[in-house]
């Protein structure tokens, strides 16, 4: 008979019982389809023990790599240790190296991480202000290329954290953060595969990290990045992306502007529309989608219809201040 170590408590496992049965039976506070009504909400992470293939078969390769598993699918016969996937319980400290204002609404924040920090470009970290306010920011840096963690922070009207970062955070400060998490990153796998990256707004941050990571690791399939902003003034990283395209002939990018004002040299419309007008068949492609949830959800469906497989679609939806103008203070 095996046992489960979860949050410092050990639970015996009766024959035929899954991890989920044991934890729910012991009244542990965990998410699962029974209380969330969400498919796959019982995903957990194994800290020790050999995860059976069947408990990972429905998960993405990036989740498998981090030892994620479905708690309802594992009946352990050995002693194992597990954690919630949302448990990055320990806050760590990083030194602020630089807060670089890129334009009126965007700054690039560079943090010097602890030496033993491992991460994948595209994951996110939670930053904590001294008063306890916590917000998530995606990692745009690449460990093999950059000596710091890079975040792109868009200033939101009346946004608590983003205004504090823009107006008060400065080089030399120390800030708390939770270790990187999330499954939105590049895995080498088939390096000849074509990759489509589509982002809106500051959803570009993780895509920039993923593109550079893939190219640096020798990905030789084509990589297309489509990025859209509402206004031309919000476009950023143009010089960096141009120089990446010069360095790697298999990388190309397109900026789009969806607002009313046309900008010379930039495509009009939404990045997803432009991407699908140029790439109609996505069978065997890998697709990364990042930014406004409405775009990510709709584009995921379009990618499936164009032949991409769900296991090859990676999504990073996040809202930032998508409230209607009239509700704003």
Q: Are the C-beta atoms of 296 and 318 separated by less than 8 Å?
A: no
Residue 104 or 327 with smaller CB distance to ligand FAD? 327
Give, in order, the Cα–Cα distances in Å from 289 to each of 155, 199, 200, 271, 317. 22, 6, 9, 11, 8
Which stretch, 40-48, 77-85, 154-162, 213-221, contacts ligand FAD (CB under 6 A)? 154-162
Which stretch, 151-159, 169-177, 291-299, 305-313, contacts ligand FAD (CB under 6 A)? 151-159
Residue 226 or 236 with smaller CB distance to ligand FAD? 236
Candidate list 32, 120, 135, 270; residue touching ligand FAD; CB under 6 A: 135
Please report whether residue 101 would count as binding ligand FAD according to CB under 6 A: no
Candidate list 13, 195, 197, 205; residue touching ligand FAD; CB under 6 A: 205
Q: How far apart are CA 12 and CA 4, in angstroms?
A: 6
Please report whether residue 134 would count as binding ligand FAD according to CB under 6 A: no
Distance of CA 277 to the CA centre of its chain: 26
Residue 20 or 197 with smaller CB distance to ligand FAD? 197
Please report whether residue 320 would count as binding ligand FAD according to CB under 6 A: yes
Tokens representing residue 273 in the block: 């529309």
Q: For residue 132, give the DSSP letter.
A: S
- Give the shortest CB-134-to-ligand FAD separation in angstroms: 9
Of 123, 88, 110, 120, nearest in space to 175 by CA = 110
Q: How far apart are CA 231 and CA 209, in angstroms?
A: 23
Q: Which residue has the tokens 């957990």?
A: 44
Please report whether residue 59 would count as binding ligand FAD according to CB under 6 A: no
CB under 8 Å to 175, separation ≥6 — which residues? 93, 94, 96, 111, 127, 128, 129, 169
Which stretch, 4-12, 189-197, 253-261, 317-325, contacts ligand FAD (CB under 6 A)? 317-325
Give, in order, the Cα–Cα distances in Å from 186 to each of 83, 196, 246, 282, 318. 24, 12, 21, 18, 19
Q: How far apart are CA 267 and CA 255, in angstroms?
A: 6
Site residues (CB under 6 A) for ligand FAD, limited to 108-127: 124
Residue count at the site for ligand FAD (CB under 6 A)?
A: 24
Candidate list 45, 63, 162, 299; residue touching ligand FAD; CB under 6 A: 162
Of 121, 133, 147, 304, nearest in space to 213 by CA = 121
Please report whether residue 130 would count as binding ligand FAD according to CB under 6 A: no
Please report whether residue 136 would count as binding ligand FAD according to CB under 6 A: yes
Candidate list 38, 47, 160, 262; residue touching ligand FAD; CB under 6 A: 160
Residue 17 or 166 with smaller CB distance to ligand FAD? 166
- Give the shortest CB-170-to-ligand FAD separation in angstroms: 17
Please report whether residue 161 would count as binding ligand FAD according to CB under 6 A: yes
Please report whether residue 156 would count as binding ligand FAD according to CB under 6 A: yes
Which stretch, 10-18, 34-42, 155-163, 263-271, contacts ligand FAD (CB under 6 A)? 155-163
- Give the shortest CB-328-to-ligand FAD separation in angstroms: 5
For residue 285, count CB atoms less than 10 angstroms from its CB and return exposed for 0-12, middle for 13-18, buried for 19 or more. Answer: buried
Which stretch, 38-46, 150-158, 237-245, 291-299, contacts ligand FAD (CB under 6 A)? 150-158
Residue 181 or 303 with smaller CB distance to ligand FAD? 181
- End-to-end C-alpha distance for the chain, whole angstroms: 59
Q: Residues 294, 228, 203, 42: is their CA dihedral positive or negative?
A: positive
SS3 275: helix
Q: Which residue has the tokens 């093999």?
A: 144
Q: Which residue has the tokens 């584009």?
A: 299
Site residues (vs ligand FAD, CB under 6 A) = 124, 135-138, 151-154, 156-162, 202, 205, 318, 320-321, 323, 327-328
């Amino acid at each position: 008979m095996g046992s489960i170590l979860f949050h410092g408590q050990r639970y015996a496992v009766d024959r035929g019982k899954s991890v989920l049965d044991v934890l729910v039976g012991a009244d542990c506070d965990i998410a699962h389809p029974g209380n969330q009504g969400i498919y796959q909400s019982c995903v957990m992470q194994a800290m020790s023990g050999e995860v059976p293939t069947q408990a990972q078969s429905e998960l993405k390769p990036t989740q498998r790599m981090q030892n994620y598993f479905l708690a309802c699918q594992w009946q352990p016969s050995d002693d194992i240790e597990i954690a919630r996937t949302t448990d990055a319980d320990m806050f760590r400290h990083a030194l602020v190296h630089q807060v670089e204002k890129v334009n009126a609404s965007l700054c690039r924040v560079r943090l010097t991480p602890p030496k033993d920090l491992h991460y994948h470009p595209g994951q996110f970290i939670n930053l904590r202000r001294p008063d306890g306010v916590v917000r998530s920011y995606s990692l745009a840096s690449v460990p093999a290329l950059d000596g710091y963690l890079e975040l792109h922070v868009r200033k939101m009207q009346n946004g608590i954290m983003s205004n504090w970062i823009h107006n008060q955070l400065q080089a030399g400060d120390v800030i708390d953060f939770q270790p990187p998490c999330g499954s939105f990153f590049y895995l080498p796998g088939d390096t000849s595969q074509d990759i489509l990256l589509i982002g809106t707004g500051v959803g570009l941050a993780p895509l920039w990290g993923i593109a550079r990571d893939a190219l640096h690791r020798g990905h030789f399939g084509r990589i297309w990045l489509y990025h859209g902003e509402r206004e031309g003034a919000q476009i950023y990283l143009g010089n960096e992306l141009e120089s990446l395209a010069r360095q790697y002939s298999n990388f190309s990018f397109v900026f789009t502007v969806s607002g009313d004002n046309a900008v010379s040299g930039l495509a009009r419309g939404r990045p997803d529309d432009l991407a699908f007008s140029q790439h109609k068949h996505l069978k065997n492609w890998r697709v990364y989608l990042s930014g406004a949830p409405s775009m990510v959800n709709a584009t995921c469906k379009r990618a499936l219809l164009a032949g991409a497989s769900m296991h090859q679609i990676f999504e990073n939806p996040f809202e930032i201040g998508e409230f209607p103008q009239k509700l704003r203070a």
